[in-house]
Amino acid sequence: MMKRTRLVFLNALPLNSISLNRFYIDVRRIDIETMNYIVKKAKSTDSEILNYIRHESTIRLINSLFGLNLSINPGLYQWQEGDELLIITLKKPVRGQEAVEVTIDDLDMFYAYVSEVCY
């Protein structure tokens, strides 16, 4: 039986979450249209959609833009083969302050894919 693919929302790319000794990461900055395509593809292929973002206003925006029902997740992400990563960060975060309202213009968006390097 084929393993279900995962689309994972992150606010950062924690390298210690990748259990491989040698790996390659392809990271690309993306726009809202590309993100929309990736989310639609994941939904149409019944991929598991996971969230590890704890910023409430960012989650509200993601849910409204893509018709999702993600919740804040304080857990730690652990990489699995085949994961597609959407990394969403605030362009200008302010330490110790919670942004109440976030718009798409406040965000930087990245797509990442991790693969094992074989020598």
The domain spans of the chain are: 6-22+29-116
Contact, 88 vs 109, CB < 8 A? Answer: yes
Considering only CA atoms, which of 92, 96, 55, 94 is closest in space to residue 74?
A: 55
pTM (predicted TM-score): 0.88
Split at pLDDT 50, 70, 90, the class of 90 is: confident
Element counts in the chain: helices (H) and strands (E): 2, 5
pLDDT tens digits for range 109-118: 999 998 887 6
Query: What tokens were used for 67?
Result: 């018709």
Using alpha carbons, select from 109, 91, 85 the residue that is nearest to residue 15.
85
Burial of 90 (0-12, 13-18, 19+ CB in 10 A): middle
* Reported CATH class of domain 6-22+29-116: alpha beta
**pLDDT confidence of 29, banded at 50, 70, 90?**
very high
DSSP-derived secondary structure letter, 2: P
What integer best gives the mean pLDDT of the chain?
A: 88
Residue among 87, 72, 6, 74 nearest 41 (CA):
6
